[in-house]
């Protein structure tokens, strides 16, 4: 077949339209209306504590009868809300999700829910609206209080087919109770939530005395996710005064010793479980955290639980300190109390917000009172007309009966009893059975009550004090019915500095301790053949002990002021034997006239400390008494101050008989004795003064105590047999050969 020729159609040239309009004019005409719409009609909450999307949704549910009705499918609610809210169903449903009890975003949720609505602390997706059900929570009776009595202004919806409230007449300061976050154009708003009971009390007190210190009543913000709030009064005062500032919230956790894991059950409101897990995983991959073997989300029906499995030997407290610093397990909440007041955004402090709310709520109460007043006056007007026929009921019946046309009944009654059309209409509609004396008298009694109520209402409308009294009464009622205990605990004293401590490496070191209080950490020789260097010491100083231990051990130093100073061996630098080492009183911050009595190196705090005092007493204290859960550097009242300590020694955990130690004690009365640690009395109280070990005369004292080791020599055996005491207390043995006891020096 021959191909058809296709005619080419020439397109007409389109001329570009160029307008002579300046950039400022373009922004003013095209951008400013959008910006104002976002600020006023979308992102910033108003004094009732709601954004337009929240208000439209809740009002729709109220009109659907869901305050007292049964649960209905969420999709029904979303569909109905679209008549007021010109947005897609997804945006409306997402707004609804946050207001539900199931989502746990609000301390006092407005919507009862059935189905999966996700969680505020997780990225877990919520179920589609066709699967979930909802209705208004009974708590909502106080956000719609008086809405059908003209408490607030009703305005047209977006297409002018319906009316909707400009604000909801909340009977409590929802602006402070419900958290709210919004980002507008050029400004933002970020409200934390406060405890309902505290807020109600604060408003009641503010009504009585505007100069009340609100910080004493509203202690601090309160969040649904709990945790610990690190309280800084200066920060809180700034937030309460200006509406701007920040504070820190810390997670709540516990250590499971059996499974060697950390279980986190509450996290800051401003973070999510997934963000925490991602950050911990990243830190582990970067090698900054080596103590974690696994981290997983075990959140279930019992609530949030984030589990961190630890490797064997990991210090969970040290690890948590680093996690708090490097993850959102401790997070900052920044406050920006930006609220729309009469259509204008204003950043207000707590006191100013309460003042604005009271003024607005007073207007709502007055409008409701005025509505009731008008209804009562209308009813009274009808009853006064009824009163006119009381004198002659038969006359009224006669007028109606003799009137030929229906349209003439009302005019004839008006003429016959000198009443107006409304009253005549009311009388004409009364059933024949009610035209008895009893009915009419009952209505007249009601007239007297109405007149009293009208007088009281008019009196209340003229008195701001009485209007505020109504507000206070409602707040007290709300607190009694719906107030809950705080979920976020307040920590008034806390360690604000959280050091990012590196993992302490475990490797062998030689530790040298001298009599004058010097300390050396020396790397051991790389081989047995390496030349051993001579230890350099200060003049007249001597080595008390030289031990091969690990770098992750603790150094426990006893001072002559009954204090203990603790440090990690890792805190000291390695030096060569030719160096003098660190002077412990200077290194650990001793007081000016404080000296070292003894130093002990330990890792597990097993074993005991043997203490000998000038008064002849001695005691064994478990070394575990000096172990602390927190990383405390100084312990006061570490041992008894009843008498000066002449010797403090470490006694290892007794596993074999050889683990017991002998100590040689001498008195200024020229006597000495050797006592074994196995016969010393053990006490579990650090400040125990012990029992008499060495019996001395009045005015005498113990002058020295030293470890005694039997090296197998004849001289040592002779000393042991002469001075050994198997029972205490003992008077000791007279020292006859002082030179023989040179080891005491």
8 Å CB contact between 300 and 214: no
Q: What's the whole-number mean pLDDT along residues 530-536?
A: 73
Do 545 and 585 sit in the same domain of this protein?
yes
Do 565 and 475 sit in the same domain of this protein?
no
Dihedral over alpha carbons 727, 733, 738, 743 (to 10 degrees): 0
Q: What residues does 112 pair with on adjacent strands?
A: 135
Q: How far is residue 228's CA from residue 241's CA, in Å, rounded to a whole number? A: 23
The owner of tokens 């005498």 is: 700
Share of the chain above pLDDT 90, in %: 49
Which DSSP symbol is given to 717? Answer: H
Which DSSP symbol is given to 721? Answer: H
Which pair of structure tokens corresponds to residue 259?
């499974």
Do 264 and 393 sit in the same domain of this protein?
no
Do 611 and 641 sit in the same domain of this protein?
yes
Do 253 and 332 sit in the same domain of this protein?
yes
At residue 622, does pLDDT exceed 70?
yes
At residue 191, does pLDDT exceed 80?
yes
At residue 534, does pLDDT exceed 90?
no
DSSP H or E segment with residue 651: strand 645-651
Can you give the pLDDT at residue 173? 96
Can you give the pLDDT at residue 743? 61
* In-domain check, residue 671: yes
> Rounded to 5 degrees, what angle do the CA atoms 583, 584, 585 make?
100
As annotated, the active-site residues are 131
Range(s) of the domain holding residue 457: 359-480
Boundary of a domain, candidates 440, 465, 480: 480
Do 204 and 266 sit in the same domain of this protein?
yes
**What average pLDDT does the structure give for the chain?**
88
- Per-residue confidence at 8, pLDDT binned at 50, 70, 90? low
Do 574 and 720 sit in the same domain of this protein?
yes
Burial 558-585 (b: 16+ CB within 10 A, else e): bbeebbbbbbebbebeebeeeebbbbbb
> Rounded to 5 degrees, what angle do the CA atoms 341, 346, 350 make?
90
Which pair of structure tokens corresponds to residue 283?
């830190």
* In-domain check, residue 488: no
9 vs 456, residue with greater confidence: 456
* In-domain check, residue 265: yes
Q: What's the whole-number mean pLDDT along residues 109-127?
A: 94
- 495 CB burial (10 A radius; 0-12, 13-18, 19+): exposed
Q: How far is residue 264's CA from residue 127's CA, in Å, rounded to a whole number? A: 26
Can you give the pLDDT at residue 13? 65
8 Å CB contact between 368 and 376: no
At residue 532, does pLDDT exceed 70?
no
248 vs 20, residue with greater confidence: 248
CATH number of the domain at 420, please: 1.10.268.10
At residue 30, does pLDDT exceed 90?
no
At residue 446, does pLDDT exceed 90?
no
- Residue of 523, 623, 511, 609 whose CA lies nearest to 568: 511
Can you give the pLDDT at residue 501? 53
Boundary of a domain, candidates 462, 480, 498: 480
Task: Write the pLDDT tens digit of every residue in 651-683.
Answer: 888 777 667 888 999 998 888 898 988 888 889
- Per-residue confidence at 428, pLDDT binned at 50, 70, 90? confident
Q: How far is residue 79's CA from residue 88's CA, in Å, rounded to a whole number? A: 9
The owner of tokens 């020229």 is: 670
Instruction: Give the best-scoring range by mean pLDDT among 193-207, 372-386, 579-593, 667-681.
Output: 193-207
Can you give the pLDDT at residue 452? 92
* In-domain check, residue 643: yes
- The upper half-sphere exposure of residue 4, i.e. CA atoms within 13 Å in the direction of its Cβ, equals 3
Task: Write the pLDDT tens digit of every residue in 454-507.
Answer: 999 999 999 999 999 999 999 999 999 999 999 999 999 876 555 555 556 566
At residue 253, does pLDDT exceed 90?
yes
* In-domain check, residue 10: no
Burial 420-443 (b: 16+ CB within 10 A, else e): eeebbbbbeeeeeeeeeeeebeeb
Task: Write the pLDDT tens digit of every residue in 690-701.
Answer: 899 999 988 899
**3-state class of 51 per DSSP?**
coil
Instruction: Give the best-scoring range by mean pLDDT among 85-99, 278-292, 398-412.
Output: 85-99
Q: What's the whole-number mean pLDDT along residues 728-732?
A: 88
Do 672 and 581 sit in the same domain of this protein?
yes
- Residue of 559, 616, 623 whose CA lies nearest to 591: 559
Q: How far is residue 730's CA from residue 745's CA, in Å, rounded to a whole number? A: 23
* In-domain check, residue 408: yes
DSSP H or E segment with residue 182: strand 180-183
Instruction: Give the best-scoring range by mean pLDDT among 23-32, 359-368, 580-589.
Output: 359-368
Report the number of distinct structural domains present in the chain: 4
Q: How far is residue 616's CA from residue 666's CA, in Å, rounded to a whole number? A: 10
8 Å CB contact between 599 and 584: yes
Q: Which of 41-45, 116-120, 255-259, 454-458 has the lowest mean pLDDT?
A: 41-45
3-state secondary structure 239-304: HHHHCEEEEEEECEEEEECCCCEEEEEECCCCCCHHHHHHHHHHHHHCCCCCCEEEEEECCECCEC
374 vs 543, residue with greater confidence: 374
Can you give the pLDDT at residue 739? 66
235 vs 535, residue with greater confidence: 235
CATH number of the domain at 672, please: 2.120.10.90
Q: How far is residue 237's CA from residue 234's CA, in Å, rounded to a whole number? A: 5
Do 94 and 214 sit in the same domain of this protein?
no
Dihedral over alpha carbons 208, 211, 216, 217 (to 10 degrees): 30
8 Å CB contact between 507 and 552: no
Q: How far is residue 287's CA from residue 485's CA, in Å, rounded to a whole number? A: 42
At residue 98, does pLDDT exceed 60?
yes
Can you give the pLDDT at residue 198? 96
- 465 Cα distance to chain centroid: 37
Share of the chain above pLDDT 70, in %: 92
* In-domain check, residue 35: no
Boundary of a domain, candidates 169, 185, 210: 169
At residue 52, does pLDDT exceed 90?
yes
- Per-residue confidence at 81, pLDDT binned at 50, 70, 90? very high
- Per-residue confidence at 117, pLDDT binned at 50, 70, 90? very high
At residue 12, does pLDDT exceed 70?
no
* In-domain check, residue 652: yes
SS3 helix, strand, coil % of the chain, rounded to 5?
A: 35, 25, 40
- Per-residue confidence at 338, pLDDT binned at 50, 70, 90? very high
Do 324 and 339 sit in the same domain of this protein?
yes
Do 342 and 381 sit in the same domain of this protein?
no
Q: Tell me the backbone φ, ψ of residue 622, rounded to 5 degrees.
A: -60, 135
Do 346 and 367 sit in the same domain of this protein?
no
- Residue of 482, 486, 211, 488 whose CA lies nearest to 354: 211
Q: Give 95-139 as a DSSP string.
A: HHHHTBTTTT-SSS-SEEEES----TTS-PPPPPTTT-EEEE-GG
- Residue of 205, 108, 219 whose CA lies nearest to 482: 108
Q: How far is residue 284's CA from residue 322's CA, in Å, rounded to a whole number? A: 12
């Amino acid at each position: 077949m021959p191909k058809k020729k296709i005619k080419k159609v020439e397109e007409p040239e389109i001329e570009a339209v160029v307008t002579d309009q300046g950039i400022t004019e373009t922004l003013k005409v095209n951008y400013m209306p959008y910006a104002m719409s976002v600020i006023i009609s979308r992102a910033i909450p108003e004094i009732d504590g709601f954004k337009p999307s929240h208000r439209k949704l809740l009002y729709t549910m109220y009109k659907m009868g869901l305050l007292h009705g049964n649960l209905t499918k969420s999709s029904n609610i979303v569909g109905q809300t679209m008549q007021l809210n010109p947005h897609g169903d997804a945006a409306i449903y997402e707004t609804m999700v946050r207001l539900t009890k199931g989502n746990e975003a609000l301390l006092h949720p407005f919507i009862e829910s059935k189905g999966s609505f996700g969680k505020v602390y997780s990225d877990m997706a919520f179920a589609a609206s066709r699967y979930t059900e909802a209705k208004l929570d009974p708590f909502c009776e106080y956000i719609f209080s008086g809405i059908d009595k003209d408490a607030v202004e009703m305005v047209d919806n977006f297409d002018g087919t319906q009316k909707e409230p400009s604000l909801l007449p909340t009977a409590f300061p929802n602006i402070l109770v419900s958290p709210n976050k919004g980002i507008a154009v050029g400004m933002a708003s970020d409200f934390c939530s406060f405890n309902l009971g505290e807020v109600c009390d604060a408003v009641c007190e503010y009504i009585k005395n505007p100069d009340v210190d609100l910080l004493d009543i509203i202690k601090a913000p309160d969040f649904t996710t709990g945790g610990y709030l690190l309280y800084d009064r200066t920060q809180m005062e700034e937030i309460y005064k200006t509406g701007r500032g920040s504070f820190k919230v810390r997670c709540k956790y516990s250590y499971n010793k059996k499974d060697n894991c950390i279980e986190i059950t509450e996290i800051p409101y401003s973070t999510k479980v997934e963000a925490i897990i991602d950050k911990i995983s990243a830190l582990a991959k970067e090698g900054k955290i080596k103590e974690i073997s696994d981290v997983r989300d075990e959140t279930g029906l019992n609530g949030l639980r984030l589990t961190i499995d630890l490797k064997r030997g990991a210090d969970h407290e040290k690890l948590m300190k680093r996690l708090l610093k490097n993850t959102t397990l401790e997070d900052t909440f920044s406050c920006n109390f930006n609220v729309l007041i009469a259509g204008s955004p204003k950043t207000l402090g707590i006191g100013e917000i309460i003042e604005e709310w009271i003024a607005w709520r007073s207007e709502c109460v007055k409008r409701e009172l005025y509505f009731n007043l008008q209804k009562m006056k209308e009813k009274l007007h009808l009853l006064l007309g009824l009163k006119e026929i009381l004198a002659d009921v038969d006359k009224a019946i006669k007028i109606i009966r003799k009137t030929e046309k229906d349209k003439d009944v009302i005019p004839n009654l008006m003429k016959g009893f000198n009443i107006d059309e409304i009253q005549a209409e009311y009388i004409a509609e009364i059933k024949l059975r009610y035209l008895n004396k009893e009915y009419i008298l009952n209505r007249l009694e009601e007239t007297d009550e109405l007149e009293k109520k009208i007088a009281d209402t008019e009196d209340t409308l003229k008195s701001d004090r009485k209007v505020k009294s109504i507000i206070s009464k409602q707040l007290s009622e709300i607190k009694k019915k719906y107030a809950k205990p705080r979920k976020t605990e307040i920590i008034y004293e806390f360690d604000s500095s959280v050091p990012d401590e590196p993992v302490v490496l475990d490797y062998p070191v030689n530790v040298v301790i001298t009599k004058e209080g010097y300390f050396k950490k020396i790397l051991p020789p790389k081989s047995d053949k390496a030349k051993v260097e001579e230890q350099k010491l200060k003049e007249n100083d001597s080595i008390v002990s030289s031990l091969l231990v690990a770098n992750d051990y603790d150094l426990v130093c006893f001072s002559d002021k009954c204090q203990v100073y603790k440090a990690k061996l890792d805190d000291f630098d390695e030096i060569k034997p030719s160096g003098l080492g660190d002077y412990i009183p200077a290194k650990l911050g001793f007081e000016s006239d404080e000296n070292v009595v003894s130093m002990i190196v330990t890792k597990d705090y097993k074993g005991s400390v043997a203490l000998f005092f000038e008064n002849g007493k001695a005691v064994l204290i478990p070394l575990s008494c000096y172990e602390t859960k927190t990383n405390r550097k100084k312990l006061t009242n570490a041992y008894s101050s009843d008498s000066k300590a002449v010797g403090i020694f470490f006694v290892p955990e007794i596993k074999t008989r050889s683990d017991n130690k002998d100590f040689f004690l001498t008195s200024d009365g020229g006597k000495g004795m050797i006592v074994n640690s196995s016969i010393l009395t053990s006490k579990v109280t650090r400040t125990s003064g012990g029992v008499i070990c060495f019996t001395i005369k009045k005015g005498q004292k113990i002058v020295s105590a030293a470890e005694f080791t039997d090296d197998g020599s004849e001289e040592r055996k002779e000393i042991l047999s002469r001075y050994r005491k198997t029972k205490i207390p003992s008077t000791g043995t007279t020292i006859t050969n002082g030179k023989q006891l040179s080891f005491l020096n």
